[in-house]
Amino acid sequence: MRAAKLFFKKTFILLFILTISFTLGLFYFFKSKDAPILKGEVIHHIKYKKDLTLDLYLPTNKVYSKSPVILFIHGGAWMVGRKETINLNRFHGAINKLRDKGYAVVSPEYTLAQNGHSPFPNCINDGIDALQWIKNNAENYTFDLNNIGVFGESAGAQIAMMTALAQGKGFHDTKLKAQYIVDIYGPNNLDALYHMPLVDSAYKMLESVPASFRSNFDITKHLFGFDPKVDPEKTKLFMEKYSPIRYTDENCPPVLIIHGKNDQVVPVSQSLDFQHLLDSIGIQNEIHLLDSVDHTFRGITETQRSEVQDWVIDFIERNYQK
């Protein structure tokens, strides 16, 4: 009995030490990355719908009587990823400076693929519902509903674009218009990735995940919710329904596109084709292609990383509605 108590005591102490070590390690990781989570007031895990929460990064400077808002949606192949991704160093410079310039940032969770269930259409409606939360809480947090933009990377960019473009078109509707879209290497035409390249891309997105975890993933079933090889017509309709390019018309807000020329997951042709469409219908847009840069900005230089921050900040500030 005494030996058992001693064992549990030692186990508890070990777990406590490991927890403290992990927490400190995470703190120093974020500190070294100058993470937004360590600056100003951040309200974590606000419930915005059943089983889903968001984090609210309030402005670090009170510049406006009402704060413009950025809805940031993380990437992860619709299968993995967390709302805390905003604290990685791909965009932290831009996020920190924009908060310092009076912007609030909302980073939500959204439905991910799991147990053979496709994340669609729930992940799209989640993005729209996060926008609805902003609308519903505008008075509580003094949000400026005339200055809201969406910002996403990879799969998150697809959700961000759909949030801005597809409301009320078979999806939820907030009656709230985004003033701009920041599209970072986002897939906007899923139909162009038809017949397995999309699946191959999803596998590539998951390369950083432990092999033991990947082995449990049937990508096709998780992404589509069915076997796309069995019903090609259903697959084509699926791709079309969730492609932002299908909802892009003269009502589209200004768009900033940033993409690596060597992207092996989402071909840079996706962004070039999107730019061509935007130009053809007279939508203000800006595109930056990064030499020798892969997906998630692998291979990016410090100079390029700094340019990305400046492009994002300048574009968002230019689209502030006075």
Q: What is the CATH number of the domain that holds 265?
A: 3.40.50.1820
Instruction: Please tell me whether residue 104 adopts helix, strand or coil conformation.
Output: strand
pLDDT for the residue 295 = 94
- Of 179, 190, 64, nearest in space to 124 by CA: 190
Give φ, ψ of 287 to 5 degrees: -130, 140
Same domain, 26 and 49: no
Same domain, 16 and 58: no
pLDDT for the residue 311 = 99
Q: Which own/partner contact pairs does 223-231 have at CB distance under 8 Å and 24+ positions apart?
A: 223/78, 223/79, 223/113, 223/118, 223/119, 223/198, 223/199, 224/118, 225/116, 225/117, 225/118, 225/120, 226/118, 228/199
The pLDDT tens digits for 224-246 are 887 777 788 888 899 999 999 99
Distance CA 161, CA 159 (A): 5
pLDDT for the residue 206 = 53
The pLDDT tens digits for 85-121 are 999 889 999 999 999 999 999 999 999 998 778 999 9
The pLDDT tens digits for 167-198 are 999 999 999 999 999 999 999 999 876 544 45
Same domain, 98 and 72: yes
Same domain, 210 and 247: yes
pLDDT for the residue 192 = 79
The pLDDT tens digits for 114-157 are 877 899 999 999 999 999 999 999 999 999 999 999 999 999 99
Same domain, 50 and 83: yes
The pLDDT tens digits for 269-322 are 999 999 999 999 999 999 999 999 999 999 999 999 999 999 999 999 999 998
pLDDT for the residue 52 = 98
pLDDT for the residue 223 = 79
Same domain, 26 and 105: no
Mean pLDDT across the stretch 63-88?
95
Q: State which residues form the domain around 7.
A: 1-32
pLDDT for the residue 22 = 31
| DSSP sequence for 187-217 | ---GGGGTTTHHHHHHHHHTTTS-HHHHTT-
Q: What is the pTM of this model?
A: 0.86
Same domain, 18 and 134: no
Q: Structurally, how many domains does the chain consist of? A: 2
Sheet strands (E) in 171-315: 180-184, 255-260, 285-290
Burial, 41: exposed, middle or buried (Cβ in 10 Å; 0-12, 13-18, 19+)? exposed
The pLDDT tens digits for 7-63 are 444 444 433 433 333 333 334 444 446 899 999 999 999 999 999 999 999 999 999
pLDDT for the residue 42 = 98
Same domain, 16 and 81: no
Same domain, 75 and 210: yes
Same domain, 200 and 146: yes
- Of 287, 296, 283, nearest in space to 164 by CA: 283
pLDDT for the residue 207 = 57
pLDDT for the residue 27 = 42
Mean pLDDT across the stretch 53-80?
97
Position 220 pLDDT exceeds 90: no
Same domain, 141 and 251: yes
Whether omega before 121 lies within 30 degrees of 0, making that bond cis, reads: yes
Same domain, 209 and 113: yes
